[in-house]
Amino acid sequence: MTLALAEARRSPATGDVPVGAVVLDGDDRVVGRGHNAREATGDPTAHAEVLALRAASAALGTWRLEGCTLVVTLEPCAMCAGAIVLARVPRLVLGAWDPKAGACGSVHDLVRDPRLNHRTEVVGGVLADECGTLLREFFDAQR
């Protein structure tokens, strides 16, 4: 989670919400990194999770990220939860829960929906205070 937090701290320089993500392979090596870059790129899909999954797929040469773990500072939204399921990521570790838009256990639970072809284990609340503080400080500065 400390690596994901380091990624998150890169986002505010471009006006992006500080969310960071890393993908670890089965040997716990970082194979993908990402931080929110919607403002920086003008791309509505440039969420930390999506960028980290893309980088991991490129590094591993496959879209199937079986055996990988996605670590992210904020509970993924519906778009990112869908990407996690489609990439076959077996494990998600998240920091802060998102009671407004979370799709991995808070508002929705897409990654564990039994109707889908893949389900992801969710480990939540890892360094939640630090992840939440980073977000609160960003939004307080915006007001």
- Known binding-site residues for Zn(2+) equal 47, 77, 80
Q: What's the sign of the alpha-carbon dihedral 107, 90, 24, 126?
A: positive
Active-site option among 7, 49, 66, 137: 49
In this structure, what DSSP letter does residue 12 have?
G
Measured CA to CA, the distance from residue 121 to residue 102 in angstroms comes to 15
Active site residue 49: yes
**DSSP secondary structure, 56-122, as one string:** HHHHHT-S--TT-EEEEEE---HHHHHHHHHTT--EEEEEE--TTT-TBTTS-BGGG-TTSS---EE
* Tokens 């992840």 -> residue: 131
Helix orientation angle between 78-86 and 48-60, rounded to the nearest 10 degrees: 20
Give catalytic residues, as residue numbers.
Answer: 49
